[in-house]
Amino acid sequence: MTGTKRSSGILLHPTSLPGRYGIGDLGAGAYRFVDWLAAHGQSIWQVLPLGPTSYGDSPYQTLSAFAGNSNLISLDRLVEEGLLRKSDLADTPPFPSARVDYGWIIPYHNQKLALAYRRFRADAETALKRDFESFVSENKFWLDDFALFIALKRGHKLRSWTEWEADLRRRDPAALASAREASADQMDLERFRQWLFQRQWASLRNHAQVKGIRLIGDLPIFVAHDSADVWAHQHEYSLDEAGQPTVIAGVPPDYFSPTGQRWGNPLYRWAVKKAGGYHWWIERIRALLRLVDSIRIDHFRGFEAYWEIPASEPTAIKGRWVEGPGAPLFQAIKAALGDLPIIAEDLGVITPAVEKLRDDFGLPGMKVLHFAWSDPANPFLPHNHPVYCIVYTGTHDNNTTRGWWENEVDERTRAFVKDYLGQDIQDIVWTLARVGMRSAAADFVMPMQDVLGLGSGARMNTPGVSTGNWTWRIQERDLDNPGRDTLLHITRLYQRHPDQQNQQ
């Protein structure tokens, strides 16, 4: 959670880190990035959701709300631990370094992790095996269901669980017992992969803490329909007898989309969640807080009221607002876990009721500078920023700042930016970064693409576009980009450097 001390940081998902295995991972590239942050005055590393992605590769549509993305496991660190040998990686293909080719890297990583699993079973030291067994025991709430889900999904050629046999789809106890017996080794492989992810992430987080870097994680409010969470807890979602959603999530039509957004996620049966003491939500928050220091909750406004769309509708137009769980959910989480290190993604159409829910629990909101330039009353303009918020140039859903300025900003907006700042705009990227850095807000975060001054080709995600997203990566040489010196300079200039905070 943001504090009263001034700080700043970078938004970069681990998949975007450099490395030779086709995707960023939790190895040397991640450690070097943490060191880079600390060396250039930063104290925040913000990431996207860390779960295992599926069709479309979106970290916001994952196979589990609890599991980690095993493609992030560092193969080099497995060599260091003796679970792989250098010779095992001699066949590494010439993966592209600037983009993630998921269809190419996933089979390769799965093959190497399966090899590491066999070696672990045959040769691992007793201490490693005890650590694995402890992990399995401590994570039974979600891990067993997830391991079986993945084993069954692979056995059904990755088809959605609604296309499985009826007894498995409906979780008939006898069918599940038989499936567990038949899939025991596959389930153990998946537990092993999750253990490796958690183990490597814990080591990276410890390094970040030593370097004074806070990790901000990301939690989507809704879960994917084709996920272990929905399959294992069907009674907690609005589904029909075949397991298909009857109503789905999205947002209504607005200035940006005349038909709204039809996300397709199944909606929670909040009365059922409440009757169970919000146990699943408490465990979800608890699990993520083992990985990060604070959590950005995506689409926070859905806790106050959410847009319910009949699943039969092709667009989001014919939806309705439905009251969300509101304060009781956060009271239950706070009672179980203590103070809430949560950041509310309060973008879009935000009502006074949403603001009250946010403020009643002392949750900081977000201010995005790309959205600020309409009129002097715009809450995203720096003179309207409260101390208790996080300011961004843009988010993962925005264009890069350079791409935004070159391709999306009209002349009226350009004129307003110039008038507000009282200067001609020579370099929009660092102009906007300075605006965010000098804000009264406690925290400022900018995407790594902006530090590098990149255009639209480096965009991470374009909402509403189903392909070509989530693939951007930095190169090793990018950490030597001159932007790092400007970043350090303005961090000191606007008193966000950790050394300056320690002197106060």
Distance between CA 65 and CA 42 in Å, rounded? 29
Catalytic residue among 397, 427, 476, 478: 397
The position carrying tokens 């003796």 is 82
Output the CA–CA distances (angstroms, integers) from residue 468 to 57, 58, 103, in the order listed: 9, 10, 12
**CA-based Rg of the chain, rounded to a whole angstrom?**
23
Q: Which of these, 242, 222, 67, lies nearest to 161 by C-alpha position?
A: 242
Catalytic residue among 190, 229, 236, 298: 298
Distance between CA 436 and CA 366 in Å, rounded? 12
C-beta neighbour count of 39 within 10 angstroms: 12
Catalytic residue among 218, 229, 236, 345: 345
Q: Is the dihedral of CA 190, 195, 201, 204 positive or negative?
A: negative
Residue 410 a catalytic site member: no
Distance between CA 348 and CA 121 in Å, rounded? 50
Distance between CA 502 and CA 485 in Å, rounded? 21
261: phi then psi, degrees, rounded to nearest 5: -125, 125
Residue 172 a catalytic site member: no
Residue 190 a catalytic site member: no
424: phi then psi, degrees, rounded to nearest 5: -75, 150
- Interacting residues of 108 by C-beta distance below 8 A, sequence separation 6+: 21, 22, 92, 93
Contact 71, 19 (CB under 8 A): no
Region of 347 (left: φ > 0; alpha: ψ -120 to 50; beta: rest) is beta
- State how far Cα 288 lies from the chain centre: 10
- Please report how many Cα atoms fall inside a 13 Å half-sphere around the Cα of residue 152, on the Cβ side: 29
- Which are the catalytic amino acids? 298, 345, 397
